[in-house]
Structure 1
Amino acid sequence: MKTNTLNIVNGQVMYNFFKEKGFLKGENIISFNEAMCYGKTSSSIFSAEFVETRSKVHNVSLDQYKNITIKALQPLLSKNFDKLVLWFDEDMFCQINILTILAWLDQIDYQISVTLVLVDDEFNPIDKQIIHPKGYKGIYKQVLIQKQIPDRTLPHSLQKGIQLYVKYLDYDSDLMMYIHKHGELPEEELLLLLLANFKEYGLGDTQYIELIRANVKGEK
């Protein structure tokens, strides 16, 4: 009997790459178009409150958020799969997205283990792990709502991503100190430096521009 496998990749860029290269050809692939490491969230994942909160974070309408993020996730939300494989990078951005998906699976009491494939910058697989979602809803709340590092032993990449996430907006974090130290640089130049020097965070142009403007230019 053929297994209905659902592959989730981190974002539209990886999705387009997989499609163009014919990788996982014939299998179901969807993208998780979010940046859960940035901005507020809700403890009830993918609920109406969650959608409203996240749409405000991204400065888009509810309909825009649903079209960009929720619509792409329908094969996941409809639970129309027998096996789930996650394809994500090792950086903080991806790891917090992984945590969100695992927490949602725990939220719906999903009882089957999930395969996590870690990829490098060119989307080549570098490691594979088997994770059971049980308990990840509590970890999600502890990390994304309370901004605390959980005591539970987690996969190394996830543990590292959480440690970076909990502290990266602190004034004395390496990232924030770098932004303040180089605040006199033109915005575009500082952006390029952040992208080059802080790859472990995995943040993109949009997040860095907002951080620069909020912490250097005095904009809110």
Structure 2
Amino acid sequence: MMIPKKTLHILNGQAMYQSYKETGFLKQEWMVPFNEAMCYGGTCENLFSREFIEMRKKVHHVTAEQYMGHTLKLLQPLLKKEFSQLELWFDADMFCQINLLTLLAWLDKADYKEAIDIHLVGERFEPVSHFTIKAKGYYSIYKQVLIEKAMPEAILPAPIKKGIELYLGYLNKDSDLMQYIQMHQNVPEKQLVAALIQEFAQYGLGDTQYYEIVRKQRQPK
């Protein structure tokens, strides 16, 4: 008796997951969201470990139990390798591409050798392009980028490379984002955050991250 192939679809976050559920896209397919914002806050080499949980819960201002329930519990089919095929659905912005890099790094470290289908989606989560890659080499890239904050020599495909370039520069004081915040010091916080989400779609950051960034910038020196 043949065991049926089980394709696991990992989506970048709860919003995409809810959208696909409501619209019936990937209907009857096995979907889980990756509820993280790996482009913001610290991380460590040992992905999804106790150390990782301790670091990421502080970033999100939650308890370890809350973090595990919101993020890692949903990822168990991936972490336990309960699938035979993997498809990842991510936007092309920085936020999504750094999340994608993190998952590829874990797969590389876990010695996952099969081909992985990557789907890039648009503003309304509709598929816009597709490519197939293998995870080999991405753990090294993850360490260089998220821990050492260095630009690797060679990165493919192009969307991940662009995401990394944006990630390594967006919190620098001379970045377009930081200069915009500096230029609008007198704009009310809520109004400024709404403008940042509109103006800097390439970063893909949400209001939670922008509120923290703006508040840090406006703290008395």
Give TM class, smaller chain: over 0.9
Q: 1:163-182: CA deviations, max 9, x gaps?
A: 00001000000101111111
Contact 1:18–1:24 under 8 Å retained in 2: yes
Match of 1:197 in 2: 199
Contact 1:41–1:53 under 8 Å retained in 2: yes
- How far apart, CA to CA, are the structure 2 residues paired with 1:214 and 1:113? 42
- Are 2:11 and 1:6 equivalent residues in the alignment? no
Match of 2:38 in 1: 36
- Are 2:128 and 1:126 equivalent residues in the alignment? yes
- Are 2:144 and 1:142 equivalent residues in the alignment? yes
Q: 1:124-171: CA deviations, max 9, x gaps?
A: 100001111001000000000011111113111111000000010000
- How far apart, CA to CA, are the structure 2 residues paired with 1:101 and 1:183? 37
Match of 2:65 in 1: 63
Match of 1:209 in 2: 211
- How far apart, CA to CA, are the structure 2 residues paired with 1:155 and 1:133? 12
- How far apart, CA to CA, are the structure 1 residues paired with 2:22 and 2:191? 32
Q: Secondary structure at the match of 1:8?
A: strand
Match of 1:163 in 2: 165
Structure 1 residue runs without a partner (length 5+): none
- How far apart, CA to CA, are the structure 2 residues paired with 1:3 and 1:23? 20
Match of 2:18 in 1: 16
TM-score normalised by length of structure 1: 0.97
Q: Secondary structure at the match of 1:72?
A: coil
- How far apart, CA to CA, are the structure 2 residues paired with 1:162 and 1:140? 10
Match of 1:76 in 2: 78
**Which residue type is aligned with residue 17 of structure 1?**
S
Measured after TM superposition, the shift of residue 64 of structure 1 is 0.4
Structure 2 residue runs without a partner (length 5+): none
Q: Secondary structure at the match of 2:88?
A: strand
| Alignment size in residue pairs | 219
- How far apart, CA to CA, are the structure 1 residues paired with 2:115 and 2:40? 27
- How far apart, CA to CA, are the structure 1 residues paired with 2:179 and 2:118? 33
- How far apart, CA to CA, are the structure 2 residues paired with 1:55 and 1:131? 31
Equivalent in 151, 154, 173 of residue 152 of structure 1: 154
- Which consecutive segments of 4 or more residues in structure 1 shift more than 3 A? none
Q: Secondary structure at the match of 1:160?
A: helix
TM-score normalised by length of structure 2: 0.97
Contact 1:179–1:216 under 8 Å retained in 2: no
- How far apart, CA to CA, are the structure 1 residues paired with 2:47 and 2:181? 32
Q: Secondary structure at the match of 1:180?
A: helix
Once the two structures are aligned, what percentage of the paired residues are identical?
53
Match of 1:181 in 2: 183
Contact 1:92–1:200 under 8 Å retained in 2: yes
